[in-house]
Structure formats: structure tokens, C-alpha cells
Amino acid sequence: MTRPLRVSVVAPSGVLGGAELWLLALLDATDRLSVDAVLLADGPLREEFARRGVPCTVRPTGRSGASIAGSAAWLTRRLRADRPDVVLANGVKAASVAAPAAWLAGVRCVWAKHDHSHDGPLMTVLALLCDGCVATGAELIAASRHRDAVLVPFPAPGRAALPRETARQELLRRGVRLGQDELLLLAVGRLVGYKGVDDAVTALAQPGTSRWRLAVVGPDDPAQPGERERLTGLAASLGVADRVDFTGWLREAWQFIPAADAVAVLTKPTGSGPSQESFGAVALEAMLAGVPVIATAPGPVSERVAPPGADPAGITVAPGRADQVAGALRQLEDPDLRSAMGAAGRRGADAHPGAEKSAALLVRTLAETARLTGTGLEGTAAISVVTTVKNEAGVIDQLLDLLVPQLAVDGDEIAVVDGGSTDGTTQRVESWTSRDPRVRLLSAPGTGISAGRNTGIRAAGNALIACTDAGCYPAPDWLARLRAAAGEAESASLLTGVYRVSGGGGPVARALALVGYPVAEEARHPGPWTRLYCRYLGREFDATLPTGRSVAFTRAAWEDAGGFPEHLRTAEDVLFGRAVVAAGHRAALVTSAEVGWEQRPTLRQTAAMYFHYGEGSGWSANPLLLGRDTARAVAYTAAVAACLRGPAARRVTAATFLAYLSLPLTRAVRERRWTALPAVPLVAVVRDLSKAAGAAHGLVGRLRSVRAHGAAPGPGGPS
């Protein structure tokens, strides 16, 4: 098992409402996280973190823009110093502070959306600033406006609640004056006006409800400090004060629900904000306990309590209608009705996920957002490693030396597909197969890389496939990291690893490494300029654009994508990744699954390599790949034209070119590659023009093939 994922949690307040209980339940259900916390207001939540050994800092933050900005600046400094893997902002206010701070500090951020607070323009801003989002209700996914929002519902309790009589005795001990023949209506939640407790109090004063007692379980809320006094005053004015009790906050209040004869979830929606109940954990807990629910409708809670076409688990009422609440209480005096609704509730809630499943989804989202998929896991799936070779006698032994010790699970294997070597490669592989039956040699003369991979995958014995190339140097834990990533809850079908380019040699070789390739550290901790640069100019690892040097995928994904495109000599791996995603599969980046790779030793050889890469883009006619190379050609043509217009245009062109080189130049300074700095402009120009020329050549070849054969090139095309 690898180290836990380091997570900084930012919580908006210290109260213990539904959002906070959701967080605590999931933290308790996983050992994959190493957590520290920042509270934007003090309260009981700090004590709960302390009980769990979570370091906690309180940074009091008001609602004003100045206060939020000040806390964001403070948090930026903290994140830069601590460098966690990811930030979890638990709510809108927390995200308003954490998202800009994480963006500036170069730490990726996940935002947890629990309600409809500030639905509108603020959601658009947070969706842009946050790298990931989890929503606790299905309808919140669309409301978040985040393209990658994941549903992580409030979990069902992990153990049974107290027996009814035990629960009633416990409530008696906590001040509930419950008579032998009285029926108990239970309201659980923070004391805020929109929870509708006043409607329950008022219902007790209606005719025909004299057998009912109301117990209110929940803490005071700093946002409405006078709510308890308002409710007690209302009960006194209605003459029902002797039938209304307040217990304050009770840890694991769900355990006491079986004491009740009905549970009230009477939220009064206002159209947006937290007053629009999005999940209703109390309703779920009541259903699991077999206790009928009185819920306001419409909304997600009422849809769960009284789903169309199914037996109801309770009674729905209009918001703010105490008379309807009283009518529901009168109906629920019937023990047979209560029993039937309780049984329906159990049936409806039985399949709801528990804390372990919800926690696994949360951790998967955090790990994928951090680009560290599988962190804290030890995978168990057997893997088939497929590599293609042709005249690789000089490097195949080193590759197998690194891979064979990583075959740690029964069923692991390596399939080496030879495309017709004449230099002794097959003899070297046969030497390995004679010593270790887990290494297999497949002979496929005349096949290119794509066809060779497809041949190896067809012959593979496992559902999980990994690929790397001869000439790569997998890290000792490369296969274990991919295996762990495949063990995530509802794991991605395409797991894109990374490669590290050797920057050795002279200044030109070092400049090539700085200019041409992405960097894993930038994927995990991108600064503001790096984010913008990589988004618009490339040079970043992208889970949907894998490289054959380091990738894993399921057989089902490979089949749905139609395999690797055999008509392409280059760019086949990234086109395969796009096809996997287009087929409906998810992709995840695994920056911990790293291989080393030695780039071409000379500038001329590198130019030829990029020409072939561009050629693959042209043959594929993929809009993304071909569009990038076309943009390069247009940009250089425009730069030359601008330089001919005069000094002012030349200055603008020079400044633009310097901005274009800013990332590789920054890398050179960061890595103290001083001698490589002068070579960076030359290398960048050669790289870009080689790719653009290759793309044009490939596109022309494709068009000629279409004219000659009447169709786009397929598996019988060039390879």
C-alpha cells in the first residue's frame, strides 16, 4: 500500500450540520487519507476533528468580500508551505475561500456541494476554479455547473440503531418528557427557521393531535442564535409548551430515531440556498429505522419518501402548512399505517450506499483530481503487460529486467510481440521465456506498433492490460501503481501513466527535454501561469491522450474503442485514448506510474521524430491533434508576416514569442539548466515546424488515399 493521500479540508463553520456529518462519516470510513483541517468559524466540529486526531486551525472568516479575500490570501500562503496533494472545500463559503487560494498556490481543489446556496453566477466561477466537484444529491450535479461532478451521497449508518424501548429510555434520560401512551414526533437538525420546526410546534395545537409530543434534537446555529427562544415562545403562546422538548445536539442522533412514531422533515424551500433540502439524511435514517416521515413537497426528500408508483414511506405536506402537518399526525395515529409505511421505508432505503462505498467514491475523486489515482490502495487484479519490439536487442533485456520483478500477482504476464526482428531480439526474449513462463514471445512479422499491440492484447489472459515500449525504463513500482489505480471504486477504464524524459547530454539535448515534453510535477501542482499555458498551448499530461510508453486499460475499453488504429504509424496511442473516451469510458491520470525514456540524441533525429508525430496527426484527421499542428503553422506564418511590417510589429512578435517560451524557460531556471537557455528558442522552432510539416504531409497523404480508394484510410493504410 502506498502512502495516504494528503488532504487539506476547509470547512465553512464549526457547527455540526448535515454537511459536516457527511464529511465526518466518510473520513471515519477510510484509511486512505491524511487530513488536516481549516475551519472558517469555531464550534463543535473542531472538537470532532480533535477526537479523530486531525490537526485543526480556526481562521475566523465573515461573510464580507474583504474577509473572504483575506482568508483566501492567508490560505494561499499556508498551502504553498504545506503542499498537500489536494484541497477539499466542504461547502460554498469554503470553496469561495479555498478555490482561489488553491489555484494561486498550485494545489488542486475539490469542492463538495451540499445544497443550492448561491446557485447562479458564483457556481460558474467555482466550477472554473475547482478541479473537481462532489455533490451529495443527484440534482446538485447539474446545479454545480462542473463538468466532472460526481455523486457522493450521504451514507447510510454503518450499524443498526437502538431498539425502540432503549431509544425511548435514552431520550427520557436526555430530558424528553415522554408519557407511556404518547406518540413521539421527532425533528432532527440545526435550529434554523427554514427547517420548519415551528410548523411542527403549531401542528400540536391543532384539533386531534393531543396524543403527540415533539422532541427537537439539534444544536443552536450561530446564524440564528435566537431560534430556540422563538420556538419555545411559540409553544408557550399556543399552550403546547408541556409537549415540546429540546435535547440539544446528540452525537449519532440517528440511533434515537426508533423511539419516534414519526419523523418531521419540514424544510421550507425558498427556491435556492440551503433551505431547499437537497438530500435529507434524516429522512433516509428514518426510513432505514422503519419510522414514517412527514416531509414537505416537492423536492428530492418527498420523492424518496413517496416515490411515484411505489408504496409511500410517509406523508407529504406543503411547506409552511401546519394544518397539513396536523392532518398527517392524525393519520399516523393508526398503528397499522405506521407499520406499513415503516416497512415501505425500509424497502426503499435498503440499497442505499453505506459509509465505506461513499467514502471510496470521495477518495477516488480526490485522488483522481490530485492526479494520484490509486494512492493509498494495494491493487489485486492480475495484469497482462504488452510490449512490441523490432530490432530492440540492445534494450529488451533491460526492459524485462525491470518488468519481471513487478509480476507480483498470480496471473501476471508479459507478452512481447515481435514484428520481425533480425538483430537477435527474439533470441534474447526466448532466453527469458525459457527461464520464466510468465514471459511470452508472440511472433507477428510485418506488424507495426498498433497491430502488434492488438495482437498481444488478443492473446493476453487478463482483463487489465498495460503497455510500455522497449527503450523505456519502468520505475520499480510502475505496475503496482497502475494496479492500485485499477482498484479504485468504479475505477476508470483508461489509466494514463507518465514518463520522465532524460535531459542529459549537451545544451541542445537539455533544451529538447525542457521544450518538448510534459512534467509530472506540473500535473500535480500547476501554478496559475502553468495552468493557463498548458490549457491553451499544450505540454501537459492529459488522461484522455495517453502514450504507449505508460498506459493501462481494460479489455472492454479496448474492444469498445475498436483497438489501436492500425492504419497509423504514429499518434495511434492518443487516438486510441480519444476513442476509449468517445465510447463512454472514463480516463484517469496516474502520475505515480512513471517510466523513464531517453529522447533522441540529436536535434536532427528529434526533428524527424516530431515530423512523424505530425504525420500521424495528419493521417488521423483528428480535429484536436490536427488543429494544434495547423495552429502552429498559422502562428509562425503570421509571425514572419508581422516581422516584415516594421519595428513595432517585430517588438510585438518578439514579446509574443517570449511568452510562448515562458514555460520551458521557467523550467530551465527552476532546474538550473543555465546552458540550455540559449538553445530553447531554436529547439522550439524546430519542434513546431517539424510537427506542422509532418501534419501537412500526412493530411496530403490521407487526401490522396481518399481520392485513390474512395474512402478514408483504414486498417490497410500506411503503417
HEC string of 277-306 equals CCCCHHHHHHHHHCCCEEEECCCHHHHHHC
Distance CA 540, CA 558 (A): 24
Residue closest to 577 by CA, chosen among 569, 585, 659, 30: 585
Predicted confidence band of residue 39 (pLDDT cuts 50, 70, 90): very high
Strand order in 551-554's β-sheet? 439-443, 413-418, 383-389, 464-467, 551-554, 494-501, 587-597, 472-474
Average pLDDT, the chain: 91
CA 562: distance to chain centroid? 27
pLDDT band for position 304 (50/70/90)?
confident
Question: What region, left, alpha or beta, does residue 706 occupy, with left being phi > 0 and alpha being psi -120 to 50 degrees?
Answer: alpha
> In this structure, what are the phi and psi dihedrals at residue 18, rounded to the nearest 5 degrees?
-60, -40
**101: which residues sit within 8 A by CB, 6+ positions away?**
72, 73, 75, 76, 79, 87
pLDDT digit string (tens) for 89-132? 999 999 999 999 999 999 999 999 998 888 888 899 999 999 99
Q: What is the pLDDT of residue 717?
A: 37
What percentage of the chain has pLDDT greater than the value 70? 97
Q: Which of the four pLDDT bands, split at 50, 70 and 90, describes residue 481?
A: very high
| Residue 718's pLDDT band (cuts 50, 70, 90) | very low
Which residue has better confidence, 397 or 534? 397
Tell me, what's the pLDDT at 496?
Answer: 98
What sign does the CA torsion over 443, 447, 451, 453 have?
Answer: positive
Q: Which residues contact 237 (CB under 8 A, 6 or more apart)?
A: none
The answer, yes or no, to whether residue 356 has pLDDT greater than 70, is yes
Q: What is the edge-to-edge ordering of all strands in the sheet holding 132-135?
A: 56-58, 33-39, 5-11, 86-90, 108-113, 132-135, 150-151
Q: Check pLDDT > 70 for residue 424.
A: yes
Q: Nearest-CA neighbor of 112 among 138, 97, 132?
A: 132
- Is 684 a residue whose pLDDT tops 80? yes
**Residue 713 banded pLDDT, cuts 50, 70, 90:** low
pLDDT band at 410 (very low <50, low <70, confident <90, very high): very high
Question: What was the pLDDT predicted at 716?
Answer: 35
Helix (H, G, I), strand (E, B) or coil at 137: coil
Phi-psi map region of 603: left, alpha, beta (phi>0 left; psi -120 to 50 alpha): alpha
Would the pLDDT of 445 be above 60? yes
pLDDT at 278: 61
At 710 the pLDDT is 66
Strand partners, 163: none
| φ/ψ bin of 135: left (φ > 0), alpha (ψ from -120 to 50), beta (otherwise) | beta
pLDDT of 544 reads: 94
Residue with cell 540529436: 602
* pLDDT above 50: residue 719: no
Res. 381: pLDDT tops 70: yes
pLDDT over threshold 80, residue 651: yes
Model-wide pTM > 0.85: yes
pLDDT at 472 over 80: yes
pLDDT at 276 over 70: no
Distance of CA 493 to the CA centre of its chain: 14
Distance between CA atoms of 482 and 374, rounded to whole angstroms?
A: 8
CB atoms within 10 A of CB 634: 11
Q: Report the interhelical angle of 281-289 vs 335-349 (nearest 10°).
A: 110
Q: Is it the case that residue 701 has pLDDT exceeding 90?
A: no
Range name among 227-231, 493-497, 537-541 with the lowest pLDDT average: 537-541
